[in-house]
Amino acid sequence: KQEVTQIPAALSVPEGENLVLNCSFTDSAIYNLQWFRQDPGKGLTSLLLIQSSQREQTSGRLNASLDKSSGRSTLYIAASQPGDSATYLCAVRSGGSNYKLTFGKGTLLTVNP
């Protein structure tokens, strides 16, 4: 059974700092990995999707990497801003369960002005 773990559970940083969020998964037979952002009381917004054959994806100040063999992904946020404050969720689509995303519990990020 696929399990996804996100560390840390919460992170507070000053504005302008570069930061890394971590995601690990137990079954390396994944189809893809997706990072989402969730604002309080809102739905999930997709940030980046990495196919199993890819090593990284970039969008603006966000960079996500994937090391499938070690079961790890990182989300790098450059020059953080107060507007980046949210919960960040990692989810994997496993090769053995083609229709299911397995989610981590998220990292609550607070960027202080």
Nearer to other proteins, 16 or 96 (CB): 96
Q: What angle do CA 56, 60, 64 make, to 5 degrees?
A: 25
Among 18, 26, 45, 58, binds other proteins (CB under 8 A): 45
* Residue 60 found at the interface with other proteins (CB under 8 A): no
Q: How far apart (Å, rounded) are the C-alpha atoms in residues 113 and 84?
A: 11
If the CB atoms of residues 77 and 89 are measured against other proteins, the closer one turns out to be 89
**Choices 10-18, 56-64, 75-83, 95-103 (CB under 8 A): range interacting with other proteins:** 95-103
Nearer to other proteins, 2 or 80 (CB): 2
Residues 54 and 25: their CA atoms lie apart, in Å, by 16
Q: Which span (18-26, 55-63, 71-79, 99-107) binds other proteins, by CB under 8 A?
A: 99-107
DSSP bridge partners of 17: none
Neighbours of 95 (CB within 10 A): 14
